[in-house]
Amino acid sequence: MLKKSICLILVLIMTAGIFAGCSENSNSNSTTEADVEATSRNPMTLSLWLPTDPSTTEEAIALVSEAINKITQAKYNTAIELHLIPRDEYQETIDAKLDAVKTANDEKAAAEEARRRELRAQKQNGTAATETEETEPAVETTVNEYGIHVTTYPTVPDTQLDIFLVQGFDNYTNYAYSDLIQPIDTELSGSSKIINSYVYPTFIKAIYDFGTFGVPNNHPAGKYQYLLINKELVDEYDYNLRELTSLLRSKNFIIDIGNQHLDDVIPLLGPVDASGMVFLSDHPGADWSLICAQVSDMTKYSDQVIPTSLLDNNSYLNTLKMVKELQSYGYVGDGTLKEGQRFAIGVIEGDEVSIREYEDEYYISVYTKPMFREDDIYGSMLSVCEYSKNVSRAMEIITCINTNPELRTVLQYGVEGVHWEYEDPDTKESIKILSGDYGMDINETGNVFMTYPGEGETMEYWEQYKAHNRETISDPFMKMPSYVNDNNREDIEELLRLNEEYKARFDAITFENFNDEIKKIKAELAENEAFMRLVDPENEDSIIYQYVDWQETTY
């Protein structure tokens, strides 16, 4: 069984010229003042904790640790004690380590306070010995087999924990409020400010509430919804593409194609909601709720998008009615295609890469831009523990992970020539995996754009995803604090019950009775006091009031 941690601190020959940059492939902007100061400051050892695949071996971790230390010792005179924990054990291990480190520091502080009390008592009694002033320990060296002096890096004591991966909004806020991770705003505006040029700015902006306590791992966030229209059918049935600019405006085209009863054509690929729908239930990102918001292609983080009753959203109701009508004709599929089938119009979720398979047969336009949600920001970030040896030195390592291709690639794929190699050593455009004994999730090891996307993929793969992130819109309910309180708790419970009841009612509506059923549902909800209190903008306990108040006080 893979042990829960392993550390390997290796010495490095301190010879002239060894303090080169991270890599010939590194962006020169990632060079920090530490590069030129590495030889003049004391050696330090920091710990780095990350999750890993169950297949990762101790031998592989040792080799990766050695490769990482060659970089960090040369650049920063900092050694890394690497701890890679099996993914399903990681959270439990980190929490246990945090608890143990906190306990050790509390005991150390208590012992120090007791020592000081004893010293004060001795001074009062005139029996105190002269207290020696603590000094920075001298740099230790050893002589290697070649007779060269090499630096000895200190071990990490049980009172120290430095860099670890924080996963999830709840963990992030709990650690921050419990003073278990350190604010890094000073570093992000000073020695580590280059991170702001490498990590999507909204990611960092979004985590700021009472300070910044981590660096989100930069990655593609959210997915597009694309509207696809069959090129051949548009031409064959003489439609003007400029008139088919939305799903609603394409209704007649879908019906005309359906009326042809073509065996290999599904007129509308599957049921679809209006674009940009975000439902609010007992948590952000719910599949369906009677309270919703609709974001536009221009919605950015911190924009106010006030939630409303679903029955007041005409875009949603009009789209639903159209789909119900098309279903009544048998013109709506289930979202899947059998072999040899095609569709006239469909909405497909994907990204700039995956959607390419459709570009020969379909006109493609954006239906909804990618939306980043809470987990995109808080799902994976590197933080500095409150009990780190040195926050600035720890941030140097986090900065290098996020800006330096050499360190980033070692951390993700392992050691060149052992775990991977270049497919073409001359171009170094892509890599080939050699071994399965070292496995990491690319979203858990730093800025994904700093290393290869995967075996056989070139760095060109990332270019469209960088633009993708610049196009993202925001979940308007992201980070919204709990809207449940003692005054509205019963109303919220009623809302959840209503959501379940009326979702079934909406699913059962037919085109023939659509108008009557919607009118009936509106009347029923207007008589439901709990629901009306939750959507009343003047009621301080309503979801709408709390949302607006949260936005105004937060942003």
Q: Residue 19 has which token pair?
A: 């303090």
Domain assignment present for residue 211? The answer is yes
Those residues with Cβ within 8 angstroms of residue 301's Cβ, 6 or more apart along the chain or in another chain: 202, 205, 206, 474, 478
Taking only the tens place, the pLDDT of each residue in 473-508 is 888 888 888 888 999 999 999 999 999 999 999 999
Q: What pLDDT digit, counting tens, does each position of 340-371 carry?
A: 999 999 999 998 889 999 999 999 999 999 98
Distance, CA of 150 to CA of 140 (rounded, Å): 8
Strand-pairing partners, residue 268, are 332, 345
Q: Would you say residue 89 has pLDDT above 70?
A: yes
**What backbone phi and psi angles, to 5 degrees, belong to 294?**
-130, 120
Q: How far apart are CA 478 and CA 374, in angstroms?
A: 5
Same domain, 390 and 535: no
pLDDT bin (cut points 50, 70, 90) of residue 116 is confident
444-471 pLDDT, tens digit each: 999 999 999 999 999 999 988 888 888 8
Residue 493 shares a structural domain with residue 404: no
This prediction's pTM: 0.81
User: Distance between CA 473 and CA 252 in Å, rounded?
Assistant: 30
Give the structural domain span for 322: 224-274+313-369
Residue that has been written with the tokens 């009936």 in this structure: 520
Number of domains in the chain: 3
- Residue 206 and residue 94 in one domain: yes
Instruction: Please give the average per-residue pLDDT across 233-238, as a whole number.
Output: 94
- Which residues is 421 bridged to in the sheet? 432
Question: Per-residue confidence at 553, pLDDT binned at 50, 70, 90?
Answer: confident
| Separation between Cα atoms, residue 201 and residue 103, nearest integer Å | 36
Instruction: Check whether residue 189 and residue 149 sit in a common domain.
Output: yes
Banded model confidence at residue 283, pLDDT cuts 50, 70, 90: low
Q: Are residues 519 and 395 in the same domain?
A: no
Tell me the β-bridge partners of 346: 228
Same domain, 78 and 165: yes
Distance of CA 7 to the CA centre of its chain: 27
Residue 178 falls inside a structural domain: yes
Pairing assessment for the beta strands 163-166 and 149-151 based on DSSP bridges: unpaired
79 in the same domain as 64: yes
Verify that 212 and 253 share a domain, yes or no: no
At 365-421, the pLDDT tens digits run 999 999 888 888 899 999 999 999 999 999 999 999 999 999 999 999 999 999 999
- What is the spatial distance between Cα 394 and Cα 391, in angstroms, rounded to a whole number? 5
d(CA 206, CA 219): 15
DSSP 288-299: --SEEEE--TT-
Same domain, 169 and 267: no
Report the half-sphere exposure of 22 (CA within 13 A, side-chain side).
Answer: 28
Whether 12 is covered by a domain: the verdict is no
Looking at the domain assignment, is residue 3 inside a domain?
no
Residues 246/249/255/258 CA torsion (nearest 10 deg): -20
